[in-house]
Amino acid sequence: MAILDIRGLSKTYASGTSALSDIDLSIERGEIFALLGPNGAGKTTMIGIICGLVTPSGGTVIVDGEDFRKSYRRVRRKIGLVPQELHTDAFEKVIHTITFSRALFGKPANPAFIEQLLRDLSLWDKRHAQVQELSGGMKRRLMIAKALSHEPDILFLDEPTAGVDVELRRDMWRMVGSLRERGVTIILTTHYIEEAEEMADRVGVINGGKLILVEEKHALMQKLGKKRLTLNLDEPLASVPPELAKWDLQLAAEGRELVYEFDAKAEHTGVPSLLRCISDLGIGFSDLNTRQSSLEDIFVELVRRKDAA
């Protein structure tokens, strides 16, 4: 059974703006799901509805078999949320703000758990510091600690590494990995496609309030991913010779690179015949390389296609 089952979820604001439209999505227990989408796509609205911050216009959300409205207490105890913004009580001590979060979700005090949590997030040494004394990266970790303080089964990370440095981002990824080992289901939104590529089991792409694709990450990259062959030419070309028209080549680097995109899984990729033709035309090249398109390339292409539709 899916731990999170969303059916027909929609949100239209009083202004008439449709932020979400008829979203259907199932998340399996223990998986890491990355929700990708440009700004204003509806990612945060969707998370907000599930967590109780936004009132939906329609649809249902079932969390671990329970309706998110009828059984809101049990549902919310299972969910932890790390919002995009660093919302903290500046004058509170770190240890107090964590214990407050745990109690707010109805959990009995557990100093040993809180200590371990703060140690895992490298905040134990700062437990008596006021929140305002923490660096941006530490505040981000504090937000995660608050969300985990009541031991949720599902963790929502809304842009968890926005504005953090590379080292901290890598730390976050490691932490997400260790949470998954403990059985926590993680749903994250991110602008960093490499983050989804690094961590996610499945990827969803949302644009204009509509979920346009949900796919297992590797399958998606295989299915929609293309390979790109780049030839570094000895002499620059002003235009692609007409004899090469059937390969739909592009010129790059001021005519010094010839680029060919092809489906690597196709029976005939067209690469050998292209290379023969280039040789026959006497076009010399000093180097060639191929590259698999990234999740980012796929994402940009998907959003572009959706916008064009």
Partner 1 sequence: MSDNNLRGVWAIYKFELARFRRTFWTSLVLPVLTTALYFIVFGSAIGSRMGEVGNVSYGAFIIPGLIMLSMFTESISNSSFGIYMPKWTGTIYELLSSPLSAFETVLAYVGAAATKSVIIGLIILATSTFFIQPRVDHPVLMLGMMILIAIAFCLFGFIIGIWARNFEQLQVIPLLVVYPLTFLGGAFYSITMLSPFWQTLTLFNPVVYLISGFRWTFFGEGDVSIGVSMAALAFFLALCLAVIFWMFRTGYRLKS
Q: Does 103 bind partner 1 (CB under 8 A)?
A: yes
Pairing of strands 154-158, 79-82: parallel
Q: Does 134 bind partner 1 (CB under 8 A)?
A: no
Binding-site member from 1, 16, 73, 182 for partner 1 (CB under 8 A): 73
Q: Does 30 bind partner 1 (CB under 8 A)?
A: no
Tally helices (H) and strands (E) across the chain: 10, 14
Q: Does 106 bind partner 1 (CB under 8 A)?
A: yes
Q: Does 21 bind partner 1 (CB under 8 A)?
A: no
Q: Does 108 bind partner 1 (CB under 8 A)?
A: yes
Give the angle subtended at the CA of 226 by the CAs of 224 and 232, to the nearest 5°.
165
Token reading at 298: 């796929």
Q: Does 70 bind partner 1 (CB under 8 A)?
A: no
Mention every residue, 6+ apart, whose C-beta is less than 8 A from residue 26. Answer: 2, 4, 5, 6
Least distance (Å) from partner 1 to the CB of residue 15? 11
Per CB under 8 A, the segment of 101-109, 163-171, 187-195, 210-218 that binds partner 1 is: 101-109
Q: What share of the chain is helix, strand, coil (3-state, %, to 5)?
A: 40, 30, 35
Distance of alpha carbon 6 from alpha carbon 154, whole angstroms: 14
Q: Does 185 bind partner 1 (CB under 8 A)?
A: no
Per CB under 8 A, the segment of 23-31, 52-60, 121-129, 202-210 that binds partner 1 is: 52-60
Q: Which is nearer to partner 1, 14 or 245 (CB)?
A: 14
Q: Does 307 bind partner 1 (CB under 8 A)?
A: no
- Residue 241 amino acid letter: P
Question: By C-alpha distance, which of 116, 108, 117 is closest to 142?
Answer: 117
Token reading at 286: 């000093």
Per CB under 8 A, the segment of 57-65, 71-79, 180-188, 196-204 that binds partner 1 is: 71-79
Binding site for partner 1 (CB under 8 A): 13, 45, 48, 51-55, 72-77, 79, 81, 83, 85, 87-91, 100-101, 103-108, 146
